[in-house]
Amino acid sequence: MKIILTDETESPMAARAPEPTGPSPGSIYPGPSRGSTSPGPSPGSASPEAASSGSSDSGVWERLRSGDQSALGELFDRYADDVYAFAFRRTASWTTAEDVVQATFLSTWRRFQRNPPGPLTAPSARGWLLVVACNECRTLFRTVRRFRNLVERLPDPPPETDHAAEVARRLDDERRMSAIRQALAKLPRHERETLELVVWSGLTLAETADALGVPVGTVKARLHRTRRRFPDLLSRTALSEELS
C-alpha cells in the first residue's frame, strides 16, 4: 500500500511499502494486515521493526513532538500494518482501509504540528494511533451516510422517452428532402430561390418580389415555370388561384 501524506507543511513520509495483495482468508481475523499471514504484534508492544531500530516509541514520540519529520515515518513503518488491519475490520473494504491509513497518519501529523499531545504514557504508540484510526472510520461513515441521505432526497429522474419514432421520422424527412433537393437542383437558381421563399417559407408573392427585388409578375412567371415541372410542390389552393 502506498501512503503519501500531504499537508500545508512538507510531508515527512513517502511511499514506504509495496502495493498490498491483502491477506489470505484465514488471516483476516484475527490475523494481521497487508499480505502477512504471521500473527500480529500483541497489544501494547512495538513491532519487530521497532525492536530492531533500537528506538523506543516514547523516544520517537518526543522527536515527533519537537517537529522531527522522520519520526512520523518511523511510526508509520511500525504501525501502518496494524492500522490497515484495524481499518479493514471496521470497513470490510481493503480500498477504504487504505484511505483510513492515509487519513490516520495525516491527521497525526497535523495534530503534532498544531497542538502536540503530551508525552507518551503507554509503552507503545499503537493504541493511540488506533484511536485516531477509529475516529477516521467514524468520520468516513458519517460522510457516506450524509451522501446517501442527500441522494435519497433527490427527486426521481423523469422517465426516459422512447425517441425511436422521432428518429425514424427525422430520417424519413431527411431522405425525402434530399430527393427533393436533387430534383430542384435542375432548376435555374432564380427559380429555385423563388420557390423556396413562396412554397417553403410561406411568403406572399408581393413579399417575395420585394425580397428578391423583382416585379410581382416576374415572381409569377418563375412559379408558373416551376409548377409545370413540379406540380405537387405548388398544390396550395390559394397559391394556385393567385397564379391563375
* Residue 101 Cα to chain centre, angstroms: 23
- Alpha carbon distance 134, 25 (integer Å): 23
- Alpha carbon distance 178, 172 (integer Å): 10
Question: What is the rounded end-to-end Cα distance, in angstroms, of the chain?
Answer: 88
| Residue 165 covered by a domain | no
Q: Are residues 136 and 212 in the same domain?
A: no
Q: Are residues 126 and 36 in the same domain?
A: yes
| Residue 163 covered by a domain | no
On whether the CB atoms of residues 226 and 233 are closer than 8 A, the answer is yes
SS (H, E, C) 184-231: HCCCCHHHHHHHHHHHHCCCCHHHHHHHHCCCHHHHHHHHHHHHHHCH
Residue of 84, 108, 112, 103 lying closest to 141 (CA atoms): 103
The 10s digit of each residue's pLDDT in 155-175 is 877 777 777 888 888 888 888
| Residue 188 covered by a domain | yes
Q: Are residues 35 and 76 in the same domain?
A: yes
- Alpha carbon distance 79, 124 (integer Å): 10
| Residue 168 covered by a domain | no
Q: Are residues 198 and 145 in the same domain?
A: no
How many distinct structural domains can be found in the chain?
A: 2
Of residues 83 and 20, more confidence is placed in 83
The label of the residue with cell 499471514 reads 37
Q: Are residues 50 and 115 in the same domain?
A: yes
The 10s digit of each residue's pLDDT in 195-244 is 888 877 888 999 889 888 999 999 989 888 887 877 765 554 344 444 44
Asked if the peptide bond before residue 30 counts as cis, ω within 30 degrees of 0, the response is yes
223: its cell numbers: 412559379
Which of helix, strand or coil describes residue 72? helix
On whether the CB atoms of residues 125 and 61 are closer than 8 A, the answer is yes
Q: Are residues 88 and 187 in the same domain?
A: no
Q: Which residues lie closer than 8 Å to 83 by C-beta, 6 or more apart? A: 33, 100, 101, 104, 105, 129, 130, 133
Q: Are residues 129 and 183 in the same domain?
A: no
The 10s digit of each residue's pLDDT in 17-62 is 444 444 443 343 344 445 443 334 444 444 444 444 447 999 999 9
Tell me which residue range forms the domain holding 198: 179-243
Q: The dihedral of CA 75, 79, 84, 89: what is its sign?
A: negative
| Residue 115 covered by a domain | yes
| Residue 164 covered by a domain | no
Looking up residue 44, the CATH number of its domain turns out to be 1.10.1740.10
Residue of 234, 205, 237 lying closest to 220 (CA atoms): 205
Q: Are residues 122 and 194 in the same domain?
A: no
pTM: 0.47
| Residue 172 covered by a domain | no
The 10s digit of each residue's pLDDT in 120-137 is 989 899 999 999 999 999
| Residue 217 covered by a domain | yes
